[in-house]
Amino acid sequence: MPITRLCDIAHRFEEQRFWRDYFSCGELSHQVERRAPEYGELAGGSIELPLAERGALVLELKPDLEVHTLFFNGASGQWQLGWADNAHFHPDVLRRTELDVISRYQQRLDPALGHPGAAYLLLHMFAPLTRGDRAGIEQQQLSRALVSTGAFDSTEADEFVSEIISERTELEWIERGSHWVLEGSDAYTLRFAGNPSFPFDELESALQVTAAQVRRA
């Protein structure tokens, strides 16, 4: 899969159609004919979101934009963190505070990207809104991010946010030992206690280093 930087595809983020296709993630496939070549460099590729000194998150897109898979590239190799589709999805992997740090770090690397902006939007579906999060603040952040792309005005952004956000109060992030895990009856996650296929130590270390870099900026 070719690796693409956010700055190389910034023009796509100015297209409202892209964001609607991206967030539908298969739901509208029976209503809208997808034309993957329209997205050129996006379809079938991977978007890299660097982390400070220790790897990167890599978002792999299917040609029809109906499946999005998130990986972590670390020192020990590549790990699948989650995926979003319209079938057997497991997207719940990031805490909202981690989403904020990752987005801010992308802005630190390239001020033109802004925060909250494209990185925040791309990873939103991988960061569930749980009982410990402030729903109103998160809605405002998403709306600001949409407006920052130039693809939505404030009214359109608020309306679209209501479609792509839901507060899942049955979910809760719990710190088990030295690791954060997601618990709840409706948790579609690989970040659960005792999962040997999840890179707890490596990912959380990378996120901590990234957070420290953001604080020093």
What value does the mean pLDDT take over residues 185-203? 96
Answer yes or no: are the C-beta atoms of 134 and 92 closer than 8 Å: no
Pick the range with the lowest mean pLDDT from 39-43, 85-89, 179-183.
39-43
Mean pLDDT for the chain overall: 89
Q: CA separation (Å) from 49 to 71, 72, 134, 140?
A: 10, 10, 25, 23
pLDDT in tens, 28-61: 433 444 444 467 666 667 999 999 987 999 999 8
pLDDT in tens, 14-37: 999 999 989 987 454 334 444 444
For 103, other C-beta atoms within 10 Å of its C-beta total: 26
What value does the mean pLDDT take over residues 193-197? 96
State the Cα–Cα distance between residues 41 and 198, nearest whole angstrom.
30
Q: CA separation (Å) from 59 to 1, 68, 122, 186, 194?
A: 11, 7, 8, 23, 25
Question: Residue written as tokens 């979910």?
Answer: 171
- Identify the pLDDT of residue 28: 41
What value does the mean pLDDT take over residues 196-216? 96
What value does the mean pLDDT take over residues 62-73? 87
State the Cα–Cα distance between residues 49 and 119, nearest whole angstrom.
8
State the Cα–Cα distance between residues 81 and 168, nearest whole angstrom.
20
Beta strands 167-168; 129-130: pairing state: parallel
